[in-house]
């Protein structure tokens, strides 16, 4: 908008005098009309019932949000508000648009956040008969029955002691129900029980997963100890110990390092995907680790940090572990004559 003119943006400039065809996405337009008129209705009723003023609102792609000037809103208030707005929809109340002169005294009586500084021409007022008169330039339904239904999804904490009220209007409610029903059917098939038992079934699965994770962690710890002891039991221990295991975590690597000891042995341990991302640990003599750690992270295209003979971090290129191993072997080979 530029003053009183509505500007349309096109991909290429048409020649002067050319006839153009304007195509309207009616599904999108009607959706916006339902959400916008729904917002006017919710705003007016929230003010009438509780004195909650609307300070702003957002028409989102999936859901819309009204910012109310109140620090809290109870579940009972949300329920009462939803019941009231849907009663108004069932009453089939007309929604009308009229234009007033900018200097018309009635302009001062309608709900408004004020006119833009560059406003020109008449003032547009959208009225919900007997409920609300609001200065607005948006598109609206012609009757509240066109809203079909409004569903308030609850509240979220807003900024500066305000509350965000989340809502759906019209076809968005139907789409939400359809999506929820599809999800319900899928869960019924997966969980092998009815919708009323889904929550309990998921809780049982979560408990089982936690138990399995705990058992798996204990097994990994035991395996780390066994790996370290096996290495130490072999005669003529190598100065370099390299190990990769897809299943594992930082604790797994640190247990191995603790069990082997890093005063004389240089350890390069990795866990995760063999070719993609993962975790790494370089442990050994303090001076060697301080020198090699950043270079190892660089080769693995990752980041890390270290102290007291350990350098660990995340890697994005685990496929380059072989290059790291060659680097460490070369380092050890060059250190031997000095020893």
The pLDDT of residue 339 is: 41
Instruction: Quote the DSSP letter at residue 2.
Output: B
pLDDT of residue 3: 75
Q: Which long-range contacts (CB under 8 A, 24 or more apart) does 27-32 make?
A: 29/139, 30/170, 30/171, 31/170, 31/171, 31/172, 32/59, 32/138, 32/139
Per-residue confidence (pLDDT) for residue 5, from 0 to 100: 80
> What's residue 217's pLDDT?
87
Q: What is the pLDDT of residue 337?
A: 54
* Tens digit of each residue's pLDDT (9 = 90 or more) over 15-50: 999 998 888 999 999 999 999 999 999 999 999 999
Write down the pLDDT at residue 119.
81
Q: Residues of the chain with pLDDT > 90: what percent?
A: 76
Quote the pTM value: 0.72
d(CA 234, CA 222): 19
Cα torsion angle, 266, 272, 274, 277, sign: negative
Cα distance between residue 259 and residue 133, in whole Å: 77
Which parts of the chain register pLDDT below 50?
338-339
DSSP-assigned letter for residue 5: B
Q: What pLDDT digit, counting tens, does each position of 273-316 carry? A: 888 899 999 999 999 999 999 999 999 999 999 888 999 999 99
Task: Identify whether the C-beta of residue 86 lies closer than 8 Å to the C-beta of residue 169.
Answer: no
Q: Which domains are delineated in the chain?
A: 26-186 (3.30.980.10), 221-335 (3.10.310.40)
């Amino acid at each position: 908008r530029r003053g009183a003119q509505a500007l349309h943006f096109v991909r290429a400039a048409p020649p002067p005098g050319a006839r153009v065809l304007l195509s309207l996405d009616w599904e999108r337009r009607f959706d916006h009309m339902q959400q916008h008129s729904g917002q006017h209705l919710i705003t007016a009723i929230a003010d009438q019932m509780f004195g909650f003023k609307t300070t702003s609102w957002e028409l989102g792609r999936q859901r819309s949000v009204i910012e109310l000037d109140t620090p809290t809103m109870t579940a009972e208030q949300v329920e009462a508000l939803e019941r009231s707005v849907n009663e108004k929809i069932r009453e089939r109340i007309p929604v009308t648009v009229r234009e007033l002169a900018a200097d018309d005294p009635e302009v001062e009586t309608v709900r408004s956040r004020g006119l833009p500084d560059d406003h020109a021409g008449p003032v547009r007022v959208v009225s919900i008969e007997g409920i609300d008169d609001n200065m607005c330039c948006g598109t609206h339904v012609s009757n509240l029955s066109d809203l079909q239904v409004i569903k308030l999804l609850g509240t979220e904490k807003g900024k500066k002691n305000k509350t965000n009220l989340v809502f759906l209007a019209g076809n968005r409610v139907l789409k939400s129900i359809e999506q929820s029903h599809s999800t319900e059917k899928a869960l019924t098939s997966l969980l092998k029980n009815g919708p009323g038992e889904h929550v309990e079934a998921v809780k049982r699965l979560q408990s089982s997963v936690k138990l399995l994770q705990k058992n798996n962690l204990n097994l990994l710890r035991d395996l780390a100890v066994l790996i370290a002891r096996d290495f130490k039991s072999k005669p003529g221990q190598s100065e370099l110990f390299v190990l990769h295991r897809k299943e594992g975590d930082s604790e797994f690597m640190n247990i191995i390092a603790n069990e082997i000891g890093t005063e004389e042995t240089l350890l390069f341990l990795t866990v995760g995907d063999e070719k993609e991302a993962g975790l790494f640990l370089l442990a050994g003599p303090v001076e060697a680790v301080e020198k090699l750690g950043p270079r190892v992270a660089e080769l693995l295209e990752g980041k890390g940090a270290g102290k007291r003979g350990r350098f660990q971090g995340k890697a994005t290129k685990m496929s380059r572990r072989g290059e790291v191993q060659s680097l460490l072997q070369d380092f050890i080979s060059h250190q031997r004559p000095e020893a």
